Structure 1
Amino acid sequence: MIRYRIELPQPASHQFHITLTVPQPAEAQVLSLPVWIPGSYLVREFARHLHSLQAEQGGQPCEIVWRDKASWTVHCRGRGALTLRYQAHALDPSVRAAWLDAQRGFFNASSLCLRVHGREAEAHALQLGPLPRGWQVATAMRPAAGQGESPRRFEAADYDELLDHPFELGPFWSGGFRAQGVPHRFVVSGAPPGFDGERLLAMTQQICEAQIAFWHAETDARGRRRVKKPPFEHYVFMLHASDEGYGGLEHRASTALACGRRDLPRRALVDVEGAPGAGGPSEGLTQLLGLISHEYFHTWNVKRLKPAPYVAYDYAREQPTELLWFFEGFTSYYDDLFLVRAGLIDEASYLKGLARTINQVLATPGRQISSVAQASLDAWIKYYRPDENTVNATVSYYTKGALVALALDLTLRREGRGTLDTLMRRLWVATGCGTADPGREGALDEALLRRELAAVAGRSMDAELDAWVHGRGELPLPSLLGSVGLGWSEDAPTPAQRLGARLSESGGQLKLASVLRGGAAAAAGLAPGDELLAVDGWRLGKAEDLALYGAFHGPRRLLAARDRRLLELQLDASGPVQSSVKLSPRTDAPDEARARREAWLGGGDRPR
């Protein structure tokens, strides 16, 4: 068995100390550290944090030869056990890497555990060294046999599984519940006084119950409904609360989450954060619940049902797929939808969030340049490396993919042959994920998706996928939302929308963060980073000053600054622009449309 020992002798130094033991190594044993972590599509070069690598056999040093940025060759003598010792700097607060200080430890094995080439399919063991007084351990990795209630030794069937179980270490809050009979644990580090853990557990349980039933409910010949067990024996949520954190990363039986402390439910504010009749959770708590829902849905959609290339991960380089619009976008569609289906938010809150997603896409000129399929391929170099021109060059496969899912779902429901819910469950079965083997993974490609979608729709939907996924036109959302009795209206445009830019305000300075393709700012010759100084002689300091001093009433003289130089430009921001969309139920909607909306938001699989 490949064995790792993880020690933290001085947590305040931010250094994990790792000992790796390889029995019967190869004569020229290659080792490497992954350059990316599944679920986050960017080469992150974790090896840059590794240092002080040493190797020995039987107490004698072995030669280590650097191969490339993330791999080494150790020249061994005979088949005696090879021992490697090294350290890894850990001060990344995200969910993707590793962190260690005097208050908390966290790591993904992809940041600490060298891969032993040729031995990836063997069992791997991980042992934690002594921990500071009062520290606990949370992970979904299987404890080794023969330990008590606080295990420190764990085992994984292979290297892939080792990398799919993050660890949370520290004096965290911990609670649990059962969803459809399966134990779930929730740990929270960094929670403030007054944190209402029981409320977070209850809300999360509702999400988990609804999602397990979504994937595994079935009705027998007598019409009796039962829910089968999900493809995991237990599940762990690991949430770190900081001042302004946010993010999540899915794993096969756990998820690592980050949120702002202000977003957690608090006992002192229970009367305004979801108590009966109090109007539902706050925006921050709703965002956190949506994140929990998103990462939990990934347990099925990307961890088991996955893109064909990811059935075998290549940890040494980029591994692109065109299907992130499905795996991330469809998951983004369902995350908030499950909040309303689970009764955690009302219809008005859901429609507000849906309108926000629509507006994010409409405010992205890059949607007319890049298809959402191309954006999936480009994720490795564009989505995770945004700059001032990203908004003009590409579109988010999260938001645009969610709208593609919405368009498909409402089309299926309008035509009365099926729903997107039906499609998701068909794909689960068609890829083999629905077998009795809980570890079974299913490879999905677009050809299979198209076949199953046609089976649900009763016709080919290739034209829609060609246009919505591989094309760059607009989605027919106004008419589709109208089919469920929703009205589409627009607010008055904001100053930034009028200008065709993204603005930043600081210390009385008004600057351009981005200049949108085709907007008034671009036509005037403005560039990202420019400071807007005056309009027709009136000094500017805030975005609202643009309207106050008449910037949107015909051609105006604009004074700007770039690289300490003054620029005199002509600005004409009086033309029509894309403003923000609002969604609301139509009072004159026919009964059929209202019934269709009720089935959609309520999780009814009958399209009506």
Structure 2
Amino acid sequence: MRRPRPAIRLSAWLASVSLIGLASGAAARAQVPAPAAGQALPQPLAMPPAIPAPRDIAYPGTLGLEVNATDLDRHVFSVTETIPVPDEIARSGGDMVLLYPKWLPGNHSPSGPIDQFGGLVVSAEGKPLAWARDTVDVYAFHVPVPKGAKSLEAKFQFLSPITREEGRVVMTPDLLNLQWNATALYPAGYFSRDIKVDARVVLPEGWGYGTALRPLKAQRDDGARLAPIAFQTVDFATLVDSPLFAGRYYRKIDLTPSGSNAPVSLDLFADTPDSLDATPAQIAAHRALVTQAYLLFGSHHYAHYDFLLALTKQLGGIGLEHHQSSENSGPPGYFTEWDKTFPMRDLLAHEYTHSWNGKFRRPADLWAPNFDVPERDSLLWVYEGQTQYWGYVLAARAGLITADQARDAIAAVAAAYDNRAGRLWRPVQDTTNDPIIAQRAPLSWTSWQRSEDYYSEGQLIWLDADTLIRKLSGDRHSLDDFAARFFGVDSGSYVTAPYKFEDVVAALNAVQPYDWASFLRARLDRVGPGAPLDGLAQGGWKLVYTETPTPYLKAYQDERKLHDYSYSIGLRLDNDAHLTDVAWGGPAWKAGLARDATLLAVNGVAYTPERLSAAITAAKPDKGAPGQALTLLVKAGERYRTVSLDYHGGLRYPHLERIDGAQDRLDQILASRK
């Protein structure tokens, strides 16, 4: 064994290296030629004039917006827009700035699809105008308005993705998803809520549609062309918050009684008509979701609400919240394979909760006056984290999932974050910046880099808060009381009510006095191993690992076509044997494996999931005998290599197990309310 160098010798060596470095640095600097006498050094150019800041005043006139969504083969939305010119510009002419929405609600990031915007032609009184894109903000277009012009006409296309490699597919032969932000320009200098819009859409003949917008009249065909569906006038903020699904196969199901003052419907769209075959029991569970949400919050903050749900493999996946609708997709077998699709049935509950948490009550630094002012995401652990918590709870209370399935889902979350290596350096608070940093681009090392962990680690924090309130209050109070107090105010209003961290703390203290500020900051700002699992223990359960996956994990893996060995050898594969994730610091990582490699063989035999599972089991010592070796043949690019994994712990899958003698508060949380 080699003995370490004495510390004094190491210090002397470092000192000598430093002196050498200083000397070489000085020599390098001496070789840089000095500027000639009087020679000017470069200086930055002045920035162009700033885009007009939004003002909270009414925009003069109403925008007219028509979107033709019939070009299904080429995936093109064609737009014609009329934009009144404000008098102060019309009197003498001048620069008018039109904006394409950049910061999209629910995305929490500057993700407006400007790369798919094309063909812009702007004219006034039939004469084309030579617009110019801003040299700093590529979402802004300067239009030279001639003197006396009363309005502009803008024509352009939204060139939506044809394949998923280009982005999310939003138009297919049978379905489309119209997001108005992708098909509209709006004038700079005004709050988006102060700009009125008359929107119309032309859909393929015979298609049904669903949206939170309400039509002026049911006009479908004037004999010469497909007549546009005209909607009631709304402000631009409401328009962007009211996407539209349309499709060849459509079904609308009322979830509230006829005559309800706030009707709720389930608007279904599908690739094939058989996917719309919901049973009475399945419909009853969705009706129960509305009932359980009302019982939780004690209010509603919409005039009407539409669950927009596309059951599809053709359209790109989405789960996005809006104030008066959801915008979701699910598997074609959502209803017809009900026993297999439960891992995604918290989605509607999650997005519905956002009508209260995120749309009605919104973090103050996340609210912006228009769609091109930057948002700040510091409170997403409330906006998304608590919504993730209520998504599971409400889905269980409504019967969309069983209590067993909910517990299995919580076990999966607890294990994921209890094993997340990135917790050693990065607090969950910092992950609220991820929508801006990464915009959900693939990551090489998710377990180390972390990715929007405020969702599900935030969910664990709120489980901790709920069970602690119950424990401290002798089970007289719970997070349900917080939800009613914080989100349930001003029923019937859908004017956004912003909040700050201090408001969250005050509402918690009003339910159950405690040092909630320290409670939250400790969990949000701490770095170190181990997820916040106190909520499980206070709820009467603990995280354990067994050799068989739960029914939830099995269904989750089957739906997503993956095989998960995260908690044994530390990797995950898809059905094509590609490594989709490698856990930082795990056995596969230590063997030098990385995502995107292909697993070809296990112990010299062609890979199958069954063979890999059997080999992991065989590598575990049995009755004093050492386990067998575990070697993998992998292909990364054009390189083949065999690696040996130093792992002998057997298969490991997360479960929840009851703590003997502890009160079962978790099942109380998941139980339906009356």
TM-score by length of 1: 0.83
Once the two structures are overlaid, the 10-residue window that deviates more, 67-76 or 455-464, is 455-464
Partners of 2:326 and 2:162 in 1: CA distance:
17
Q: Which runs of 5+ in 2 are unaligned?
A: 1-61, 221-227, 549-563, 621-626
2:479 partner amino acid: L
- Say if 2:183 is the partner of 1:183: no
- Say if 2:668 is the partner of 1:583: no
* 2:415–2:654 Cα contact (<8 Å) kept: yes
2:74 partner amino acid: S
CA offset at residue 438 of structure 1? 0.9
CA offset at residue 261 of structure 1? 0.4
Q: Deviations over 1:36-79 (max 9, x none)?
A: 42112343341222222111112222221121432211111124
Structure 1 residues 44 and 530: alpha-carbon distance in aligned structure 2, compared to 1, 3 A threshold: same
2:669 partner amino acid: W
Q: What is the DSSP-based 3-state SS (H/G/I as helix, E as strand, rest coil) of the residue aligned with 2:96?
A: strand
2:197 aligns with: 125
Q: Deviations over 1:491-529 (max 9, x none)?
A: 1398553322333453xxx55433322222232333334
Q: Deviations over 1:316-366 (max 9, x none)?
A: 365231221221111111112112222444322221222122223234322
* 1:554–1:572 Cα contact (<8 Å) kept: no
CA offset at residue 252 of structure 1? 0.9
1:117-516 to structure 2, matched below 5 A, reads 117-119=188-190, 120-128=192-200, 130-144=202-216, 147=217, 152-171=229-248, 172-178=250-256, 181-190=261-270, 191-193=272-274, 195-197=276-278, 199=280, 200-216=282-298, 230-243=300-313, 246-263=317-334, 265-266=335-336, 273=338, 282-284=339-341, 286-313=342-369, 315-316=371-372, 319-382=375-438, 384-395=440-451, 396-416=453-473, 418-428=477-487, 434-435=489-490, 438-473=493-528, 474-475=530-531, 477=533, 480-492=535-547, 496-504=566-574, 506=576, 512-516=579-583
CA offset at residue 378 of structure 1? 2.2
CA offset at residue 253 of structure 1? 0.4
CA offset at residue 154 of structure 1? 1.9
Q: What is the DSSP-based 3-state SS (H/G/I as helix, E as strand, rest coil) of the residue aligned with 1:13?
A: coil
CA offset at residue 251 of structure 1? 0.7
Q: What is the DSSP-based 3-state SS (H/G/I as helix, E as strand, rest coil) of the residue aligned with 1:99?
A: coil
1:57 aligns with: 124
Structure 1 residues 75 and 291: alpha-carbon distance in aligned structure 2, compared to 1, 3 A threshold: same
1:486 partner amino acid: W
1:600 aligns with: 669
Q: Deviations over 1:383-433 (max 9, x none)?
A: 61232212221152221111111111111111226321222233236xxxx
1:80 aligns with: 150
CA offset at residue 215 of structure 1? 1.0
Q: What is the DSSP-based 3-state SS (H/G/I as helix, E as strand, rest coil) of the residue aligned with 2:255?
A: strand
2:194 partner amino acid: E
How many residues in Structure 1 have an aligned counterpart in Structure 2? Answer: 561
Q: What is the DSSP-based 3-state SS (H/G/I as helix, E as strand, rest coil) of the residue aligned with 1:422?
A: helix
Partners of 2:656 and 2:409 in 1: CA distance:
10
Partners of 2:586 and 2:210 in 1: CA distance:
50
Q: What is the DSSP-based 3-state SS (H/G/I as helix, E as strand, rest coil) of the residue aligned with 1:499?
A: coil
Q: Deviations over 1:132-158 (max 9, x none)?
A: 3312332212444xx358792224442
CA-based RMSD? 3.2
CA offset at residue 6 of structure 1? 1.7
Structure 1 residues 394 and 125: alpha-carbon distance in aligned structure 2, compared to 1, 3 A threshold: same
Partners of 2:425 and 2:162 in 1: CA distance:
34
1:355 partner amino acid: A
- Say if 2:647 is the partner of 1:573: yes
Q: What is the DSSP-based 3-state SS (H/G/I as helix, E as strand, rest coil) of the residue aligned with 1:322?
A: coil
Once the two structures are overlaid, the 10-residue window that deviates more, 165-174 or 246-255, is 165-174
* 1:156–1:162 Cα contact (<8 Å) kept: no
Q: What is the DSSP-based 3-state SS (H/G/I as helix, E as strand, rest coil) of the residue aligned with 1:367?
A: helix
Q: Deviations over 1:456-479 (max 9, x none)?
A: 3312123322221111343452x6
TM-score by length of 2: 0.75
Partners of 1:570 and 1:10 in 2: CA distance:
54
* 1:125–1:154 Cα contact (<8 Å) kept: no
* 1:175–1:186 Cα contact (<8 Å) kept: yes
CA offset at residue 233 of structure 1? 1.4
